């Protein structure tokens, strides 16, 4: 963190990395220190018993096997004692492993739980504006793969600690038996650790590359299958297959490279300890001849060395995993350490008695943009009034809804709302994985009749009644799949369940067919007549339901007034609405002369002129 | 999600897998031999120790260092040979399995692209993607770790068993008998363990879904003050995940130690047995020591084997699912003998067509027909609108004409040739479908347009842009044709995506155009551009529009009205309106709903 420069692998840099790794482990262990301590204890038991096991082997060879085969006899007590010694030590050693692994697992996953809860807490408490500046997948990764990466280092740490202890005890033990034989073993240990670390680092690079290619392959396959109708429509099946196969080929090539590297190192890691053992035996022959060691002592050094090969590999693994854990932990911290932004809702004041919504000189700018998305917007909506927001694409309609709804904080100006609850319905209906009822009540207790009434108003009661379990039907990922219109009706009903005093609709009804839309908006008018409604409208039929229209262009409020007045007074508004109607101008030849079908724009204009 | 999975036994699946991926079988004998030599390296040290003790150290008047030195040299040579053999075996197995899986993957993708559209709905897409990605990955994992372990450890255990038998059959049998129950213990632990891990995986994905709801539903959650509610629900899943993982961990903690306990039991049994047999049986001190080492080495891979067994089961399950997809029939069958379409504009004749969607569960059982006995003829160059309420069968009829499926009964002819006899390549060159929600690749507009004619030049694209009169739109975009459209085209509005799709269709220059009109609302200016481009695109081609906006129907030469899968009306817009039937009712409702002034007038 305080590294001066990233230029090279300087000593300071390495030291910084080690310190970060220690910080990481320290801050995670602090969350559940007792579990961790028990795990380390288990590892120590294991280490001590490993040394003891080699002692037992030596004892059995010197006191049971050699007497029997050299001298011809051995006391039964020695045989039984030797067997019990070997078994007893083995059982305690196994118990050490059970304790270490169980408690290491508990440490690891309880830490994961605590950290994930903290991340979730942040995700819930940061306002929508914070979320909008971040990619969804990225945030999910913080609580998912990043936590998993950070904690992955915790599992092998007790073992590593135990192994380091083991290394010291056994090195001491082997040196005590014989300085020469022990010396050979002690020199080879660090070599093996280095070999392991180098191996893990290098092979990981290839596996990471393969993983990256696999990621683009999965994305490509998903896209291609999603567009399968298009692929078929243009007979491009083979072309798409070839394109994806090329990416799969890169996965294969990276993997083959990794396999080659792995084969070399696996073999080295197998052969080097064996060669060392051969060396120890040859040297041992000298030492036995000179009378410095017994055959049992020689065997026990070989045995001990063999036992240590596997734990050494794990040390290498742990060390090479550390950078990944540190990276994951840093990404988690970036979310946890991000200061909480104030909730824009808190800045919403009460509107004066006459108005449902007051927008007072509001400006808003999206992060990283040079221009305001909303600029000095002043708008007052009477209580119970339905106001449509109309404007071309990019006019700031959705932003206006989100600022009024308390999702985005205004840069300047203020929003005031009539007291009571507000509901927002978005363009894309978001449904939680859960039952229809859960989705309507969102964590509050509501009477079923209230839910059904809201559904009826949103023209959703019929389809919900037809679902296999009615309100208890599961929707979302693992439930029934609903059409866009059905989802939108549920979202509308959810908004109405709370009997909002302010209802904000962001082009909500566009997923409904015009007839249903008219019914739903009619219901809103009659039943929820006290509710102030601000709605983004893109269809003439939607506009027609509003008392007044606010015409928004380029983030500025151009005009507010009745639809017919705006048609006359605002040429830009007129051309925007007419553009839609133009599409229907083609009908006019067919329509003319047919009674009962009226309502092309021309008629409306004449009507408004006449009134 | 429910492929017929039970059709393959494990052995069948592996057999079929080898058939589908012949690369795997090539040279497998040599690989195995090399692995055997490599595994032999692992008994070098115990054997050398035995030889050194027996011949060089114990029972001699003087320790024979020179002899031990020779043994050492031989051991080093043996280790080097074994190392080279092992490395070669690993590389051979790894490289071949990767090549085999690449082949399998490519075939699978090709097969899935050719499956019928009915097998490609949204619910199944994830499953199909998983077949090509994660299921094949289970096989990769298997070959990289499990397969290698089978090869190396299996061979090693065989070799050690042989060496032990050669030393002393009685001691060897002691080892086998005492260690045998370990296999059962490990198997039992493994069964519990894999269930526990399945559970942990399920809990993990529950947790991830909950977290992703917090993120993707951020606005909805805030709009409904549901933060506390989702936090509570999510934290429950977080805890349940930790619990499941811990449980699996504890079960797993017993796996390795059981091997350990059996090791010491077996070693003790060997010592007791050896002492009881004594030197009279021909057993030596060196052999005894060697045996102790061999016993440890013999049992070492057993614990690993149980993990490998689990991985093997997973891989076989993945293989089964992959094979099941390869066995799914592909879309409409290709004709054995093709007939060419006549050149120039094409007419379409639909003859007594009936269509029912087959229900998946039982192929014999069919749902009620979506289309019943529909017949009509569209002369070349005519522009027709298909109209009807939702569920009337108009979309299905469009799909049949585009041959995304074949009629259950009846026939469709294109230019006088039965559709079933036209090759797919020719059909796709002459007939183009523009979907309701056009799909765009995450690439530039130009790349998406050129998709319909790979190799088209910039000039061709420019010509189509002018033909369809959308240059002003493209010029207003930041990078014109080079503008990136984002995932599924989400950087563009719904209307703009349709414009790209129309350009794409225009570049293909088809004779027949099947157009599934969009239902979603589009801003007015784009709407105008779309209908202008559409009119230009349809000019001079036979076109069928599946019309949701009746303004489209009003502009068509002829309107076909479907009701409950039957063709109920057929004629020009004006005539049908006069007739006062189904169409005039649909039209009146549509006009009332889409007219701003109509409602406000009645409200005044």
SS3 A5: coil
- A597 touches B: beta carbon within 8 Å: yes
pLDDT at A253: 93
CB contact under 8 A, B125 and A590: no
Nearest CA in chain B to A586: B555
One DSSP character per residue, A56-94 reads: HHHHHIIIIIHIIIIIS---HHHHHHHHHHHHHHHHHHH
Widest pairwise Cα distance in chain B: 125
Give the nearest partner residue to B216 out of A393, A430, A507, using CB atoms: A430
Give the nearest partner residue to B253 out of A97, A112, A424, using CB atoms: A97
d(CA B466, CA A338): 51
What domains lie within chain B, and their CATH numbers? 7-168 (1.20.1560.10), 348-594 (3.40.50.300)
The string over B494-521, giving b where at least 16 C-beta atoms fall within 10 Å of a residue's C-beta and e elsewhere, is: bbbbbbbbbbbbbbbbbbbbbbbbbbbb
- B331 touches A: beta carbon within 8 Å: yes
Q: What percent of chain A has pLDDT over 90?
A: 29
pLDDT at B328: 86
**Among A45, A46, A63, A44, which residue's Cα sits nearest to residue A300?**
A63
**Among A569, A527, A525, which residue's Cα sits nearest to residue A545?**
A525
CB contact under 8 A, A543 and B228: no
> B149-182, pLDDT tens digit by residue?
787 788 888 888 998 898 888 889 999 998 888 8
pLDDT at B513: 93
* Sheet with A349-350, edge to edge strand ranges: A349-350, A412-417, A355-364, A374-382
pLDDT at A580: 59
Nearest CA in chain A to B72: A278
Q: What is the CATH number of domain A14-178?
A: 1.20.1560.10
Q: Which of A180-189, A273-282, B592-601 has the lowest mean pLDDT?
A: B592-601
Query: How many Å lie between the alpha carbon of B587 and the closest alpha carbon of chain A?
Result: 9
- B388 touches A: beta carbon within 8 Å: no
> B548-560, pLDDT tens digit by residue?
778 788 888 999 9
> B329-367, pLDDT tens digit by residue?
888 888 888 899 998 889 999 999 999 876 444 444 456
pLDDT at A317: 73
User: Which residues of chain A have a CB within 8 Å of the CB of B256?
Assistant: 97, 101
Q: Using pLDDT thresholds of 50, 70 and 90, give the confidence band for residue A603.
A: very low
Q: Is the confidence at residue A7, as pLDDT, over 70?
A: no
Query: How many Å lie between the alpha carbon of A425 and the closest alpha carbon of chain B?
Result: 8
Query: How many Å lie between the alpha carbon of B212 and the closest alpha carbon of chain A?
Result: 6
From the candidates B63, B130, B179, B220, which should be mutated to test the interface with A, based on the most A CB atoms within 10 A? B220
One DSSP character per residue, B57-109 reads: ITTSSS--HHHHHHHHHHHHHHHHHHHHHHHHHHHHHHHHHHHHHHHHHHHHH
pLDDT at B366: 52
SS3 A211: helix
Burial zone of B4 (CB within 10 Å; 0-12 exposed, 13-18 middle, 19+ buried): exposed
Work out the average pLDDT over B235-263: 90
d(CA A340, CA A329): 19
From the candidates B89, B248, B268, which should be mutated to test the interface with A, based on the most A CB atoms within 10 A? B268
pLDDT at B364: 45
- B595 touches A: beta carbon within 8 Å: yes
Q: Using an 8 Å Cβ cutoff, are B102 and A249 in contact?
A: yes
Q: What percent of chain B has pLDDT over 90?
A: 33
- A141 touches B: beta carbon within 8 Å: no
Query: How many Å lie between the alpha carbon of B361 and the closest alpha carbon of chain A?
Result: 18
CB contact under 8 A, B101 and A252: yes
Q: Is the confidence at residue B198, as pLDDT, over 90?
A: no
| Residue whose entry in the numeric block shows the structure tokens 């839609």 | A580
> A452-486, pLDDT tens digit by residue?
999 998 888 988 998 888 899 988 665 667 777 88
Nearest CA in chain B to A503: B223
* C-alpha dist (Å) from residue B334 to B234, B405, B406, B425: 51, 12, 11, 10
Q: Using pLDDT thresholds of 50, 70 and 90, give the confidence band for residue A11.
A: low
Q: Using pLDDT thresholds of 50, 70 and 90, give the confidence band for residue A200.
A: confident
Say what angle helices B227-253 and A76-125 make with each other, to 10 degrees: 170
Compute the residue count for chain A: 611
- A12 touches B: beta carbon within 8 Å: no
* Cβ contacts from A onto B, under 8 A: 506
CB contact under 8 A, A240 and B599: no
Q: Using an 8 Å Cβ cutoff, are B402 and B433 in contact?
A: yes
pLDDT at A586: 42
**Among A308, A313, A305, which residue's Cα sits nearest to residue A182?**
A305
Q: Using pLDDT thresholds of 50, 70 and 90, give the confidence band for residue A167.
A: confident
- Kind and range of the H or E run holding B459: helix B458-467
User: Parallel, antiparallel, or unpaired for β A434-435 and A474-475?
Assistant: antiparallel
Q: What is the 3-state secondary structure (H, E, C) of A227-261?
A: CHHHHHHCCCHHHHHHHHHHHHHHHHHHHHHHHHH
Query: How many Å lie between the alpha carbon of B134 and the closest alpha carbon of chain A?
Result: 9
Give the nearest partner residue to A87 out of B56, B254, B265, using CB atoms: B265
- A269 touches B: beta carbon within 8 Å: no
Q: Using pLDDT thresholds of 50, 70 and 90, give the confidence band for residue B599.
A: very low
User: Which residues of chain A have a CB within 8 Å of the CB of B519?
Assistant: 513
From the candidates A87, A233, A244, which should be mutated to test the interface with B, based on the most B CB atoms within 10 A? A233
User: Which residues of chain B have a CB within 8 Å of the CB of A459?
Assistant: none
> A482-524, pLDDT tens digit by residue?
777 888 889 999 999 988 999 999 887 766 766 777 777 788 7
Give the nearest partner residue to B91 out of A226, A259, A581, using CB atoms: A259
Query: How many Å lie between the alpha carbon of A373 and the closest alpha carbon of chain B?
Result: 17
Query: How many Å lie between the alpha carbon of B205 and the closest alpha carbon of chain A?
Result: 9
Q: Is the confidence at residue B501, as pLDDT, over 50?
A: yes
pLDDT at B83: 94
pLDDT at B372: 92
Which ipTM was obtained for this model? 0.80
Query: How many Å lie between the alpha carbon of A258 and the closest alpha carbon of chain B?
Result: 9
User: Which residues of chain B have a CB within 8 Å of the CB of A263?
Assistant: 86-88, 90-91, 94
pLDDT at A605: 28
Work out the average pLDDT over B496-522: 87
Give the nearest partner residue to B230 out of A57, A60, A124, using CB atoms: A124
Query: How many Å lie between the alpha carbon of B375 and the closest alpha carbon of chain A?
Result: 24
Nearest CA in chain B to A263: B87
CB contact under 8 A, B94 and A251: no
Q: Is the dihedral of CA B591, B594, B595, B600 positive or negative?
A: positive
d(CA A425, CA B225): 13
CB contact under 8 A, A240 and B113: yes
CA dihedral B96, B99, B102, B103 (to 10 degrees): -100
pLDDT at B223: 86
Question: What is the CA B572 to chain-centroid distance, rounded?
Answer: 47
CB contact under 8 A, A83 and B57: no
Work out the average pLDDT over A78-97: 92
Burial zone of A398 (CB within 10 Å; 0-12 exposed, 13-18 middle, 19+ buried): middle
Q: Is the confidence at residue A594, as pLDDT, over 80?
A: no
Q: Is the confidence at residue A609, as pLDDT, over 60?
A: no
pLDDT at B566: 93
Nearest CA in chain B to A255: B98
Q: Which of A1-10, A590-599, B492-501, B516-525 has the lowest mean pLDDT?
A: A590-599
The pTM (predicted TM-score) of the whole model is 0.72
- A302 touches B: beta carbon within 8 Å: yes
User: Which residues of chain A have a CB within 8 Å of the CB of B224?
Assistant: 423, 442, 494, 498
CB contact under 8 A, A281 and B72: yes
One DSSP character per residue, B106-155 reads: HHHHHHHHHB-GGGG-HHHHHHHHHIIIIIHHHHHHIIIIIHHHHHHHHH
Q: What are B456's two structure tokens?
A: 């088209």
Q: Is the confidence at residue B305, as pLDDT, over 80?
A: no
> A371-426, pLDDT tens digit by residue?
889 999 999 999 989 999 998 877 889 999 999 999 999 999 999 999 888 899 98
Give the nearest partner residue to B601 out of A86, A597, A607, using CB atoms: A607
Q: Is the confidence at residue B597, as pLDDT, over 80?
A: no
Query: How many Å lie between the alpha carbon of B444 and the closest alpha carbon of chain A?
Result: 15
d(CA B26, CA B22): 7
CB contact under 8 A, A426 and B235: no
- B173 touches A: beta carbon within 8 Å: no
CB contact under 8 A, A583 and B528: yes
**Among A397, A386, A400, which residue's Cα sits nearest to residue A356?**
A386
Q: Is the confidence at residue B222, as pLDDT, over 50?
A: yes
Give the nearest partner residue to A539 out of B228, B246, B594, using CB atoms: B594
Give the nearest partner residue to B264 out of A86, A229, A607, using CB atoms: A86
- A409 touches B: beta carbon within 8 Å: no
Q: Using an 8 Å Cβ cutoff, are B246 and A109 in contact?
A: yes
Burial zone of B535 (CB within 10 Å; 0-12 exposed, 13-18 middle, 19+ buried): middle
SS3 A497: helix
pLDDT at B8: 61
d(CA A106, CA A155): 9
CB contact under 8 A, A481 and B439: no
Q: What are B7's two structure tokens?
A: 């059709």
Query: Residue B25 half-sphere exposure, CB side, CA atoms within 13 Å?
Result: 9
Q: Which of A82-96, A588-602, B533-547 has the lowest mean pLDDT?
A: A588-602
Mean pLDDT rounded to a whole number for chain A: 83
Q: What are B184's two structure tokens?
A: 């059962």
**Among A476, A440, A433, which residue's Cα sits nearest to residue A456?**
A440
């Amino acid at each position: 963190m305080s590294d001066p420069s990233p230029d090279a692998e300087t000593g300071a840099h390495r030291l910084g990395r080690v310190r970060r790794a220690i910080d990481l482990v320290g801050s995670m262990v602090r969350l559940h220190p007792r579990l961790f301590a028990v795990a380390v204890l288990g590892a120590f038991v294991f280490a001590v018993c490993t040394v003891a096991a080699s002692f037992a082997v030596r004892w059995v060879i010197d006191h049971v096997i050699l007497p029997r085969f050299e001298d011809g006899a051995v006391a039964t007590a020695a045989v039984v004692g030797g067997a019990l010694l070997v078994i007893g030590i083995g059982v305690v050693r196994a118990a050490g492993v059970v304790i270490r692994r169980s408690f290491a697992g508990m440490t690891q996953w309880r830490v994961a739980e605590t950290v994930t809860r903290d991340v979730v807490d942040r995700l819930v408490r940061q306002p929508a504006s914070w979320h909008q500046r971040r990619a969804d997948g990225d945030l999910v990764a913080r609580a998912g793969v990043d936590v998993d990466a950070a904690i992955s280092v915790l599992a092998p740490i007790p073992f590593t600690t135990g192994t380091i202890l083991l290394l010291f005890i056994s090195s001491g033990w082997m040196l005590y038996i014989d300085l020469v034989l022990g010396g050979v073993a002690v020199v080879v240990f660090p070599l093996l650790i280095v070999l392991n670390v180098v191996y893990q680092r290098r092979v990981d690079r290839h596996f990471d590359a393969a993983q990256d290619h696999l990621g683009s392959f999965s994305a490509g396959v998903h896209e291609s299958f999603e567009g399968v109708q298009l692929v078929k429509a243009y007979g491009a099946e083979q072309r798409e297959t070839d394109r994806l196969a090329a990416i799969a080929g890169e996965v294969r090539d990276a993997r083959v490279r990794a396999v080659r590297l792995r084969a070399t190192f696996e073999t080295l890691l197998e052969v080097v300890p064996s060669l060392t053992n051969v060396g120890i035996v040859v040297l041992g022959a000298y030492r036995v001849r000179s009378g410095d060691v017994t055959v049992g002592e020689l065997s026990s050094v070989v045995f001990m060395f063999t036992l240590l090969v596997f734990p050494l590999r794990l040390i290498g693994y742990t060390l090479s995993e550390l950078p990944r854990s540190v990276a994951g932990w840093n990404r988690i911290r970036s979310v946890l350490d991000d200061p909480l932004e104030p909730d824009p809702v808190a800045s919403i004041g009460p509107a004066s008695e006459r108005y449902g919504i007051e927008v007072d000189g509001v400006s808003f700018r999206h992060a990283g943009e040079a221009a305001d998305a909303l600029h000095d917007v002043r708008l007052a909506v009477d209580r119970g009034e339905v106001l449509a927001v109309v404007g071309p694409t990019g006019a700031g309609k959705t932003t206006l809804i989100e600022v009024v709804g308390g999702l985005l904080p205004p840069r300047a100006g203020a929003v005031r709302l009539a007291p009571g609850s507000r509901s927002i319905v978005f363009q894309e209906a978001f449904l939680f994985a859960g039952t229809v009822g859960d989705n309507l009540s969102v964590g509050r207790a509501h009477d079923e009749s209230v839910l059904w009434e809201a559904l009826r108003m949103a023209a959703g009661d019929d389809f919900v009644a037809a679902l296999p379990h009615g309100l208890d039907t599961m929707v979302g990922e693992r439930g029934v799949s609903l059409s866009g219109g059905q989802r939108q009706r549920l979202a509308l009903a959810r908004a109405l369940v709370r009997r909002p005093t302010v209802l904000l609709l962001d082009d909500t009804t566009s997923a409904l067919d015009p007839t249903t839309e008219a019914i739903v908006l009619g219901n809103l008018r009659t039943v929820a007549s006290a509710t102030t409604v601000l709605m983004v409208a893109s269809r003439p039929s939607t506009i027609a339901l509003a008392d007044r229209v606010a015409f928004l262009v380029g983030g500025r409020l151009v005009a507010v007034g009745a639809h017919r007045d705006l048609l006359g007074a605002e040429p830009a508004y007129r051309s925007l609405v007419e553009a839609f109607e133009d599409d229907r101008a083609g009908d006019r030849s067919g329509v003319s002369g047919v009674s009962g079908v009226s309502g092309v724009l021309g008629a409306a204009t004449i009507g408004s002129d006449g009134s | 999600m429910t492929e017929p999975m039970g059709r393959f036994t494990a052995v069948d699946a592996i057999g079929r897998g080898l058939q589908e991926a012949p690369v795997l079988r090539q040279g497998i004998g040599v690989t195995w031999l090399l692995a055997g030599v490599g595994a032999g390296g692992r008994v070098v040290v115990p054997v050398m120790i035995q030889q050194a003790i027996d011949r060089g150290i114990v029972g001699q008047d003087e320790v024979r260092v020179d002899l031990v030195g020779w043994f050492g040299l031989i051991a080093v040579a043996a280790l080097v040979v074994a190392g080279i053999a092992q490395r070669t075996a690993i590389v051979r197995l790894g490289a071949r399995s990767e090549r085999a899986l690449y082949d399998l993957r490519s075939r699978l993708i090709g097969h899935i692209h050719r499956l019928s559209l009915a097998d490609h709905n949204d619910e199944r897409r994830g499953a199909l993607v998983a077949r090509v990605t994660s299921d094949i990955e289970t096989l990769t994992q298997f070959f990289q770790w499990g397969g290698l372990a089978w090869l190396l450890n299996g061979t090693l255990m065989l070799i050690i068993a042989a060496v032990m038998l050669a030393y002393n059959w009685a001691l060897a049998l002691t080892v086998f008998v005492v260690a045998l129950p370990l296999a059962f213990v490990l198997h039992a632990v493994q069964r519990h363990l894999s269930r526990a891990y399945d559970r942990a995986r399920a809990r993990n994905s529950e947790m991830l879904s909950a977290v992703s709801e917090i993120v993707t539903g951020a606005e909805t959650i805030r709009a409904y003050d549901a933060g506390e509610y989702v936090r509570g629900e999510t934290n429950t899943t977080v805890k349940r995940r930790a619990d499941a993982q811990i449980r699996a961990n504890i079960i797993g903690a017993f796996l390795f130690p059981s091997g350990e306990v059996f090791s010491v039991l077996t070693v003790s049994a060997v010592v007791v047995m050896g002492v009881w047999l004594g030197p009279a049986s021909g057993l030596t001190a060196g052999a005894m020591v060697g045996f102790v080492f061999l016993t440890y080495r013999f049992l070492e891979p057993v614990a690993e084997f149980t993990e490998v067994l689990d991985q093997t089961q997973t891989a076989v399950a993945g293989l089964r699912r992959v094979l099941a997809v390869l066995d799914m029939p592909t879309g409409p069958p290709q004709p054995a003998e093709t007939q060419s379409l006549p050149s120039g504009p094409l007419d379409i004749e639909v003859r007594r067509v009936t269509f029912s969607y087959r229900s998946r569960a039982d192929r014999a059982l069919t749902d009620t027909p979506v289309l019943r006995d529909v017949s009509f003829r569209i002369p070349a160059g005519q522009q027709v609108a298909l109209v009807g309420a939702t569920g009337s069968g108009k979309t299905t009829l469009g799909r049949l004409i585009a041959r995304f499926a074949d009629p259950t009964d009846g026939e469709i002819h294109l230019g006088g040739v039965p559709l079933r006899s036209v090759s797919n390549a020719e059909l796709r060159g002459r007939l183009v479908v523009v979907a309701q929600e056009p799909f765009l690749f995450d690439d530039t507009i130009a790349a998406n347009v050129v998709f319909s004619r790979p190799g088209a030049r910039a000039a061709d694209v420019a010509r189509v842009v002018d033909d369809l009169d959308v240059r002003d739109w493209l010029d207003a975009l930041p990078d014109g044709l080079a503008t990136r459209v984002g995932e599924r085209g989400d950087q563009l509005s719904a209307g703009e995506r349709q414009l790209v799709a129309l350009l794409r269709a225009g570049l293909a220059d088809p004779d027949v155009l099947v157009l599934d009109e969009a239902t979603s609302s589009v801003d007015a200016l784009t709407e105008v551009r779309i209908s202008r481009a559409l009119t230009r695109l349809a000019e001079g081609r036979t076109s069928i529009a599946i019309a949701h906006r009746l303004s489209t129907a009003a502009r068509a030469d002829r309107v076909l009205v479907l009701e409950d899968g039957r063709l109920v009306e057929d004629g020009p817009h004006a005539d049908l309106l006069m007739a006062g039937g189904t169409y005039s009712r649909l039209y009146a409702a549509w006009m009332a709903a889409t007219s701003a002034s109509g409602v406000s007038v009645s409200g005044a």
